[in-house]
Structure 1
Amino acid sequence: MKKKLTVLLIEVQFDPHRILPEGNILHHLLSRSKHCREMRFLVYMRMSSEIFQSILNINSDLITKPATKMRQLIRSGERWATTPRFLTTDKMSRRTKQHYDYGQKNLCVLLDLDQVLADFEGHFITKFREKFPDDPFVQLDERKGFYIKDQYEKLDGNLGDKVRAVYIEKGFFLDLPEIKGAISAAREMAATDGVDVFICSSPLTEYQFCLPEKFEWVEKHLGPEWLDRIIIAKDKTVINGHILIDDRPRINGSCKSPTWKHIIFTAHHNRHIEGRQRLDNWTDGTWRDILEDFKKRI
């Protein structure tokens, strides 16, 4: 007998300054943004009744303090935190079922940020030569491998730390130039009927400048309304979508069969990869054909 699935739908609205500690990166971002004075979360999960019960009985010691505080606020029903709604799929209206049915959703496109919308590689060479003018460097046409640091260390074992010093420096990510045609293509894509567009980017482990500057870059080049389209994830395999446009040749993670199809955005470091679907640029309109092709499949 097929198990009945329970849908957990939680909508939480709260003032981040009352919950998040000052050192929290989200607190830092929201404090700097004039467009975000509150946070709103919508959490949706399908699960068996057993998993559902285990979530209700979760040990509070395993939850971080901000999450524990959120949970208390949800249960207390304060005016700026709504109570969770627990529904079962058999009680949903037809319209609601369609809304939560993945097969009924728009085409979901995930766009990487660095080297897809923003020119990381070209900007890196410029900054490296400014900072270390007497050191050897790798020309763009000679780039091989996804990680710049690895190739520079092969060139000279002492260059690794210098490479890292360039891209973790304050202002590096904020000052990345746009890849030609990327911004206009992203805006047109987002305005296309039946298409949802999100920016899916992986931060550096040294996130102090990288993470907030990614948000600032998007706000600067695409506008504040795009801040709601940002997905930050070290593991992109767990993100739902139909298409992921990314310059990284291999994207691995905890999910062995991601929902999205990986389309390689051509960069100097991945030109040698063969037998994979590609998008070479944003200017010749090929991206429109790719979207139309995928819209027919869903």
Structure 2
Amino acid sequence: MTEKKAIVYVDMDHVLCDYAAGFARHKAKYPGRAFPQSKPGLYESLDPMPDAIDSYMWLHEHPKLDVYILTAPSIKNPHCYAEKRIWVENHLGMAVVENLIISPHKHLSKGDYLIDDMPSGKGQDLFDGELMLFGSDEFPNWTSVTRYFKTLVGR
């Protein structure tokens, strides 16, 4: 009998992707626009957060973990759905695209861990597993997240 893998969900904006820097660039490109994120190009142009790609891939390839990207869409921007998918393919590959979930209701996904930068707003506060608040004192960056999982499941 095989051991049950822990299910881990990882948010995109402000966790895998540097949304703040990307938004600032997009706002400068469309200065008169109240919601520049509604213009195509923002999401697929975001830079990865420091150490995000290596850390995500370590989690994704770990035999004791089942890892998914769980990201909320910008519901007023239909482009974000495709752009987030493109970003995942460009930075993490097709194998990870198969594990991409885009939902504004994060509490509906059942799992053990949710790595997110927000404690609420998209159902994070109702998530059944452990919410790991990215950017907090406990998990300020990807190094701390990877260290946590290495102690939890081994190298």
TM-score class normalised by the smaller sequence: 0.7 to 0.9
Preserved CA contact (<8 Å) 2:22 2:47: yes
Describe the superposition over 1:257-290 as per-residue Cα deviations: whole angstroms up to 9, x where unpaired: 5322111111xxxx6xxxxx731112xx322332
Preserved CA contact (<8 Å) 1:236 1:251: no
Describe the superposition over 1:28-56 as per-residue Cα deviations: whole angstroms up to 9, x where unpaired: xxxxxxxxxxxxxxxxxxxxxxxxxxxxx
1:193 maps to 63
Matched, 1:125 2:125: no
**AA in 1 matched with 2:38:** I
Using the size of structure 1 for normalisation, the TM-score is 0.47
**AA in 1 matched with 2:130:** K
Preserved CA contact (<8 Å) 1:108 1:243: yes
- Structural mapping, 1:92-171, within 5 Å: 104-132=3-31, 162-164=33-35, 166-171=36-41
Matched, 1:226 2:96: yes
Deviation for aligned residue 1:295: 4.3
Describe the superposition over 1:115-148 as per-residue Cα deviations: whole angstroms up to 9, x where unpaired: 101111111112212322xx8xxxxxxxxxxxxx
Number of residue-to-residue matches in the alignment: 154
Hey, what's the Cα distance between the residues in 2 that align with 1:190 and 1:174? 21
Distance 1:163-1:249 versus aligned 2 partners, 3 A rule: farther
The structure 1 segments of at least 4 consecutive aligned residues displaced by more than 3 Å after TM superposition are 292-296
- 5+ residue gaps, structure 2, are none
Hey, what's the Cα distance between the residues in 2 that align with 1:278 and 1:232? 26
Preserved CA contact (<8 Å) 1:201 1:233: yes
Matched, 1:243 2:113: yes
1:205 maps to 75
Preserved CA contact (<8 Å) 2:138 2:144: no
Preserved CA contact (<8 Å) 1:107 1:295: no
1:280 maps to 140
Deviation for aligned residue 1:206: 2.2
Determine which structure has greater relative contact order: mean sequence separation of CA pairs < 8 Å that are 6+ residues apart, divided by chain length. 2
Q: Percent identity?
A: 25
- 5+ residue gaps, structure 1, are 1-94, 99-103, 136-161, 272-276
Preserved CA contact (<8 Å) 2:72 2:122: no
1:264 maps to 133
> RMSD across aligned C-alpha pairs, in angstroms?
2.4
Preserved CA contact (<8 Å) 1:242 1:259: yes
Hey, what's the Cα distance between the residues in 1 that align with 2:54 and 2:16? 10
* DSSP 3-state at the match of 1:110: strand
Deviation for aligned residue 1:202: 0.6
* DSSP 3-state at the match of 1:197: strand
Hey, what's the Cα distance between the residues in 2 that align with 1:108 and 1:261? 11
Moved more, 120-129 or 256-265: 256-265
* DSSP 3-state at the match of 1:124: helix
Distance 1:231-1:125 versus aligned 2 partners, 3 A rule: same
**AA in 1 matched with 2:67:** V
**AA in 2 matched with 1:112:** D
Using the size of structure 2 for normalisation, the TM-score is 0.87
